[in-house]
Amino acid sequence: MNRVKEFLRSFTVFEYCLWACSMVAIVLSFFLCGNKEYWNLAGSLLGATALILNAKGNVVGQIMCVVFSAYYGAVSFFTEYYGEMITYLGMSAPMSVAAVISWLRHPSRGKKNEVEINTLKWWEYPVAVLISMAVTVAFYFILRALNTARLLLSTLSVFTSCLAVIFAMRRTPFFALAYAFNDIVLIALWTLAAIDDLEHISLAICFTVFLFNDVYGFINWLRIRKRQRSSPVAAPEGPPPQSE
Does 103 score more than 60 pLDDT?
yes
d(CA 174, CA 165): 10
Cβ atoms 56, 220 nearer than 8 A: yes
**Residue 106 covered by a domain:** yes
Max CA-CA distance within the chain?
82
Q: Is 34 helix (H, G, I), strand (E, B) or coil?
A: coil
pLDDT digits (tens, 9 = 90+) for 1-36: 677 788 888 899 999 999 999 999 999 988 888 777
Length of the chain: 244
The yes-or-no verdict on residue 242 having pLDDT over 70 is no
DSSP run (H or E) holding 165: helix 151-169
| Domain residue limits at 201 | 15-225
Encode pLDDT of 114-152 as tens digits: 999 999 999 999 999 999 999 999 989 988 888 888 889
Domain contains 117: yes
| Rounded Cα distance, 153 and 31, in Å | 27
183-224 confidence digits (pLDDT tens):
999 999 989 988 887 777 888 999 999 999 999 999 999 999
For residue 105, pLDDT beyond 90: yes
Exposed, middle or buried by CB within 10 Å (0-12, 13-18, 19+), for 66?
A: middle
Residue 42 falls inside a structural domain: yes
- The answer as to whether 205 is a domain residue is yes
- 235 belongs to a structural domain: no
Is 2 within the bounds of a domain?
Answer: no
* Number of folded domains that form the chain: 1
User: Quick check: is 52 in a domain?
Assistant: yes
Average pLDDT score, the chain: 87
Within a domain: residue 193? yes
